[in-house]
Amino acid sequence: MVNARILIPKILLFFLTLALFLVSPTNSTGAEVPEIRLSLAKSIKIALSNTTSAKKAENNLKLQGADLLKSYGSFLPQLSATAGYTPYALNRSYSLPTNPATINTTTSQSVDLTVTTTINLFNGFRDYSSLQSALKREHAAEYTLSRTLESVIYDITQTWYQVLLDRELLEISQENLLSVEDQLKLVERQFQVGLKSITDLYQQQAEVEQSRLAVMKAQTRMERTRLELLRRLRIDPLTKISLETDSLELTTPSAVKPDREELVNRALDQRSDLKSKAMESNAAQWQVKASRASRYPSVDLALSVSSKGVEYLNHEYAYPPLSEQMGNTVGYSARLNLNWAIFDGFQTRYAIESAKINQLNQQLDYEDLKKSIVIDLYQAAGDYASAYTQIETAQAGFTAARSAFNAVNRKYELGAASFVELSAARATLFNARSNLSQATYNLALQKSVLDFTTGSVAQPQ
């Protein structure tokens, strides 16, 4: 009995452990967290296929296509058909002149068919103006879609370079931490043999902790930008990514100071959103003409074909069968309809003024965008030129800081320099290397801004 009491809990514990192991997350999925390799081109393709803004722009383009088809249909004749079948009809009427009057009862079935086509001959050029407006709106939707795709590419490119920069800053922080940790080991040995004081040891330990804190901050910043990239790609945030960099992405361009006037002319010629605004303004202008059509009469031509047959069920009248009647009683008609609204309570006047105001607002938006493009280009060109010169300055600063640190480090190892001097030289070297990385990626970012502002963003093939 004692052995059974001991054995039963052990068996229960074994099955409980087995159950927990089987339902654990790592085993229930049967796979590890997925990992994908991303390049800039691949990231852009993923974003273009997943982003909501691009899908909305595509849907709007489809809607404008349907609206254009509707405008084309206004020039085509309208066709309608009506048919009726009465299987049983009972009619009663007095028979006159008889005295007294008698009631006649007839029962019948009937069939009628009418086909009518109507074509508008003139309506104040409303259909033509509406067609031109629809064409301009469709072109505007195409340009809007193009600019939306450019915005997605620009956003992904900016985030991509930011992730690369934060990754490089993290690596610099980690290398700096390894350097100060090695320095701490050296100081500890020198302290043990009496070459360094306890103050130097404490200061070196403090610098190690400060460097470790910098690594933690760099890791946090790196993780934040990585998640921002995943957010823009709209993929699972648990996905592990490894970035594939292209050496050509950070190649320093040859143009130091771009020609602002040439960039402005290129932007005014290439910017899809500016073309879209111009098309929308043009469409609004045609809409004004369409609104004025209500002041003129409209003329329609209606053509119809009809046939009808009646069969009396009580056989009081000798009528031919329904099928024969339908073939022999076909009738045709042509009719011209004139419709002219002499006074409509100022509804036409309001529609015209509303269309004019909309056209003026569209033109104002076009002019504002045009001015904003010029200002943005001047700013982007200035930032690009500044980023270009910063690389040379950062490179010279890094070279000087590295030479200074090596010299101070040798003097410190020989006891000819203080810890403060070594710490200052290391901090200067760390900042110089970080500044060089930031300047390199900043130039790539500014080049991306310049391409986006001029409308020269290239889509991946």
Query: What confidence category does residue 244 fall into, taking pLDDT thresholds of 50, 70 and 90?
Result: confident
pLDDT on residue 32: 59
Q: Where do the structural domains in the chain lie, given as residue ranges? A: 34-76+123-297+345-454, 79-122+298-339
Query: What confidence category does residue 260 fall into, taking pLDDT thresholds of 50, 70 and 90?
Result: confident
154-158, 195-199, 266-270, 393-397 — which is least confidently predicted?
195-199
**Model confidence pLDDT, tens digit, residues 53-112:** 999 999 999 999 999 999 999 999 999 999 999 988 888 877 766 667 778 778 888 899
**Model confidence pLDDT, tens digit, residues 267-297:** 999 999 999 999 999 999 999 999 999 999 9
Helix H, strand E, coil C: the string for the chain is CHHHHHHHHHHHHHHHHHHHHHCCHHHHCCCCCCEEEEEHHHHHHHHHHHCHHHHHHHHHHHHHHHHHHHHHHCCCCEEEEEEEEEEEEEEEEEECCCCCCEEEEEEEEEEEEEEEEEEEEECCCHHHHHHHHHHHHHHHHHHHHHHHHHHHHHHHHHHHHHHHHHHHHHHHHHHHHHHHHHHHHHHHHHHHCCCCCHHHHHHHHHHHHHHHHHHHHHHHHHHHHHHHHHHHHCCCCCCEEEEECCHHHHCCCCCCCCCHHHHHHHHHHHCHHHHHHHHHHHHHHHHHHHHHHHHCCEEEEEEEEEEEEEEECCCCCCCCCHHHHHHHCCEEEEEEEEECCCCCCCHHHHHHHHHHHHHHHHHHHHHHHHHHHHHHHHHHHHHHHHHHHHHHHHHHHHHHHHHHHHHHHHHHHCCCCCHHHHHHHHHHHHHHHHHHHHHHHHHHHHHHHHHHHHCCCCCCC
Class at the top of the CATH hierarchy for domain 34-76+123-297+345-454: mainly alpha
**Model confidence pLDDT, tens digit, residues 322-366:** 888 888 889 999 999 999 989 888 999 999 999 999 999 999 999
**Model confidence pLDDT, tens digit, residues 166-211:** 988 898 888 888 888 888 887 888 788 887 788 888 888 888 898 8
Q: Is this model's pTM higher than 0.75 or not?
A: yes
**380 or 458, which is more confident?**
380
Query: What confidence category does residue 461 fall into, taking pLDDT thresholds of 50, 70 and 90?
Result: low
